[in-house]
Amino acid sequence: MPSRFVIGVDIGGTKLAAGVVDERLQIHRRIQRSMRGQDTPALLDTIASAVQELVNTTPGEIDAVGFGIPSLIDRRTGTSVVAVNLPLTDVRFGALMAERLDLAVFVDNDGNLAALAEHRAGAGVGVEHMLLIGLGTGIAGGLILGGELYRGWLGAGAELGHMVIDLNGPRCQGNCPNHGCFEAMASGTALAREARRIASERPDTELGRALVDGRELEGPLVTELAHDGDPAALAVLELIGERLGVALANYVNIFNPELIVVGGGVMRAGEMLLAPARAEMLRRALPPSRDVVRVVAAEFGHEAGMVGAAALALDGLAARQAQR
Amino acid sequence: MPSRFVIGVDIGGTKLAAGVVDERLQIHRRIQRSMRGQDTPALLDTIASAVQELVNTTPGEIDAVGFGIPSLIDRRTGTSVVAVNLPLTDVRFGALMAERLDLAVFVDNDGNLAALAEHRAGAGVGVEHMLLIGLGTGIAGGLILGGELYRGWLGAGAELGHMVIDLNGPRCQGNCPNHGCFEAMASGTALAREARRIASERPDTELGRALVDGRELEGPLVTELAHDGDPAALAVLELIGERLGVALANYVNIFNPELIVVGGGVMRAGEMLLAPARAEMLRRALPPSRDVVRVVAAEFGHEAGMVGAAALALDGLAARQAQR
């Protein structure tokens, strides 16, 4: 039996998922809570009570909790600086959780924690230099450099979705003031936009008919139609894949990584997205980096955040013990 | 008196500069050699004999030599993989120099060494996370992360000039297969291209008249005319500065650095380039990173490479002694 348990909490835009996780990053119990429409105090109550419920109902001792929040974090103060979908902007999230819970508390953003999960127990085990790109409604990013999470000066680095690849491109979303970011060009949101455009240009395809029928042209439907060979749906994935490839080329040149792990909901399209992305990366990046990097799908799906949050808590406990 | 000397060698496209440098990175003697038009064996002879001359004529012991070469390096084999302007492609430069010289030999590329020079003795002393961007004919890059040079998996990382900022932009130069790289958009080469375009559009300006007179519209002339208030020359620097600002925004979001140091010949334009670059960065990058980063001019000019090469050699000697 593993001797130590921690709790990992993944806080999404509308719900949280929390789990009891052992030292080998196996999940033992899971709960979910809706946070839809809650203001800041209600949100903090929901989160704390979910954690407390897991503590109360788990036989054995729980030492720490890790939180993944969809936010930029200033590690000088533990403040959530910018949160796109939740009322957490300028909230000292870690301190407020520590006041409510009798546990060691660790906080990081969702992209960093997805990278940590893949590095400790997924596609990146044993890798020194890897990037995690999470293609969802937005684009999450995480960097493992020299075997450790790289967070930058204040902890706000690794915003890998907010790299301009088209300086005259479309306005980015949420609190990002930029234009032509990788996120504005190749996220699930961008995929849906391009799907609507291509569908309207090609009314004689399945994708075109789906538009006429008023269906939502988002990642799942586009992926399904592409699987069935619809040329318009395939063209959408190829376009988004090529733009992903431009971003990969940039990151290959900047980091010379061993591995790039691509996850997130949009990756249900799998090789239909990764194959054109790799081809575009090879057309644009420099040797020798382009010839040695591996670009693979993430191994963790929707539980990456929970596992990464647990890994963060385990790392945090180990660091505290080493200091004693 | 400092007790230890090393030699730092900066190998440029057409000439080398070598110096005897002490542990405080003060330069004591300097020599230069032309390498114009030399084939690989002649080039290696020129380089080795310049180093040997410094060894022979320096009172006191010299322990090591550091070389900066304008090349991508594969550190697995010590091979220079891609060298744009010199016949060094696929040359095992470090091993060949070690055969010719009775010294410990260390090799790195010019961008990394400029970053090392600024970090050890220039604008970046004491900084944990900084970037060096060298705006010349091309764009050199160097990364100091966690107080150390970050080179990537094989040593070919930090190619900061080869980040696409306009995916439909102009073809990059040299051996780069890419389009719309930062280097293709904001290097000295790009500046000269934009100067010719703007001059032809505005024949009633000093820049326009210079084009008609057949003068070379490169960085020094554009900078001089901008200093004198010529609106066309100022427009060129503003355009290049804004593109620099797009790249800065990307790097601020990716690295959350404390400091970005901008050097290279194009930086003779100083604040005429940096002011629009900072403004564009602030319009595009995310808080809190954009609000805390400092963007400053490099302190080292043409001797950055020599000083950085010496710092590399001193670091290398220290690491070897620590292993004993």
Mean pLDDT of the A166-175 span: 93
Task: List pLDDT tens digits, range B237-248.
Answer: 999 999 999 999
- Cα separation, A308 vs A313, in Å, equals 9
Q: Average pLDDT in the A42-55 region? A: 96
Q: Chain A contact for B157, CB < 8 A?
A: yes
Q: Distance (Å) from the C-alpha of residue B190 to the closest C-alpha of chain A? A: 16
Phi, psi of B206 (to 5 degrees): -60, -40
- pLDDT score at A49: 97
Mean pLDDT of A188-203: 97
Q: Map out the domains of chain A as residue ranges.
A: 5-115+302-323, 126-297
To the nearest whole number, what is the mean pLDDT of chain A?
94
Count chain A–chain B contacts defined by CB atoms under 8 A.
158
Question: Tokens 């063209």 sit at which residue?
Answer: A235
**What is the average per-residue pLDDT within A172-184?**
94
For A218, half-sphere exposure in the C-beta direction (CA atoms, 13 angstrom radius) is 10
Q: 3-state SS string over A77-101? A: CCEEEEECCCCCCCECHHHHHHHHC
Test A177 with B283 for CB contact under 8 angstroms: yes
Tell me, what's the pLDDT at B195? 98
pLDDT at A84: 65
Q: What is the pTM of this model?
A: 0.95
pLDDT digits (tens, 9 = 90+) for B98-154: 999 999 999 999 999 999 999 999 999 999 999 999 999 899 999 999 999 999 999
Residue of A nearest to B152 (CA): A256
Q: What is the spatial distance between Cα A42 and Cα A37, in angstroms, rounded to a whole number?
A: 9
pLDDT greater than 60 at residue B276? yes
According to the model, what pLDDT value does residue A190 have? 97
What is the C-alpha separation between B134 and A134, in angstroms, rounded?
Answer: 31
**Could you read off the pLDDT of A238-282 as tens digits, one per residue?**
999 999 999 999 999 999 999 999 999 999 999 999 999 999 999
**Hey, what amino acid is at A109?**
N
- Tokens encoding B289: 């990173």
Interface of A with B in 235-264 (CB under 8 A): 243, 246, 249-250, 253-258
Nearest CA in chain A to B90: A288
The mean per-residue pLDDT over the stretch A177-202 comes to 97
B139 or B4: whose pLDDT is higher? B139
The whole-number pLDDT of residue A4 equals 84
Q: How far apart are CA A178 and CA A180, in angstroms?
A: 7
CA atoms of A256 and A275, how far apart (whole Å):
20
- pLDDT score at A87: 85
Detail the DSSP E strand segments found in chain B: 5-11, 15-22, 27-34, 62-69, 71-74, 79-83, 104-109, 130-135, 139-145, 148-149, 259-263, 294-297
Residue in chain B lying closest to A174 (CA) = B286
Neighbours of A34 (CB within 10 A): 10
The 10 Å Cβ neighbour count of residue B147 is: 11
Q: pLDDT class for A76, splitting at 50, 70, 90? A: confident
Q: Assess whether pLDDT exceeds 80 at residue A121.
A: yes
Average pLDDT of the residues in A89-110: 92
Options 1.10.760.10, 3.20.20.70, 3.40.50.150, 3.30.420.40; CATH for B126-297 is: 3.30.420.40
Chain A residues touching residue B176 (CB < 8 angstroms) = 286
Nearest CA among A163, A177, A322, A169 for reference residue A249 = A163
Whether B1 shows a pLDDT value over 70: the answer reads no
The answer to whether B165 faces chain A, any CB pair under 8 Å, is yes
pLDDT at A2 over 60: no
Give the pLDDT mean for A126-132: 98
How far apart, in whole angstroms, are the C-alpha atoms of residue A223 and residue B30?
A: 63
Asked if A72 lies within 8 A of B164 by C-beta distance, the reply is: no
* Average pLDDT, integer, range A218-246: 97
How many angstroms separate the CA of residue A129 from the nearest CA in chain B? Answer: 6
| Intrachain domains B5-115+302-323 and B126-297 with the same fold | yes
Residue A3: band (very low, low, confident or very high) from pLDDT cuts 50, 70, 90: low
Whether A140 has its CB under 8 Å from any CB of chain B: the answer is no
Torsion of CA A197, A198, A203, A208, to 10 degrees: -90
Which residue is it, tokens 């944990």? B128
Residue B315, pLDDT score: 94
The residue of chain B nearest to residue A281, with distances taken between CA atoms, is B178
Distance from CA of B295 to the nearest CA of A (A): 15
Chain B 105-134, CB below 8 Å of chain A: which residues? 128-129
pLDDT of residue A12: 84
The share of chain A scoring above pLDDT 70, in percent, equals 98
Determine whether the interchain pair B287/A72 forms a contact, defined as Cβ–Cβ distance below 8 Å. Answer: yes
ipTM above 0.90, yes or no: yes
- Closest residue on chain A to B83 (Cα): A287
Least CA distance to A172: which residue of chain B?
Answer: B284
Is there a contact between B168 and A166 if contact means CB atoms under 8 Å apart? Answer: yes
Cα(A282)–Cα(A70) distance, rounded to whole angstroms?
32
**Angstroms from A19 CA to nearest CA on chain B:** 30
Q: What is the pLDDT of residue B296?
A: 98
B153 with A257: Cβ contact below 8 A: yes
Residues B193-250: pLDDT tens digits? 999 999 999 999 999 999 999 999 999 999 999 999 999 999 999 999 999 999 999 9
Task: With beta carbons under 8 A apart, name residues in chain A contacting B162.
Answer: 250, 253, 285-286
Task: Give the one of B162, B253, B285 whose C-beta lies nearest to A286's C-beta.
Answer: B162
pLDDT in tens, B38-94: 999 999 999 999 999 999 999 889 999 999 998 888 877 777 777 666 888 888 999
CB proximity under 8 Å: A 47-106 to B: 72, 74, 81-82
Q: Considering only residues A2 and B156, tell me which one the structure prediction assigns the higher pLDDT.
A: B156
Identity of the residue in A150, A157, A165 whose CB atom sits nearest the CB atom of B167: A165
Rounded CA separation A271/A267 (Å): 8
CA distance B264 to chain A (A): 19
- The Cα B155–Cα B94 span in angstroms is 14
| CATH number for region A5-115+302-323 | 3.30.420.40
Contact A18, A56 (CB under 8 A): no
Q: What is the CA radius of gyration of chain B?
A: 20
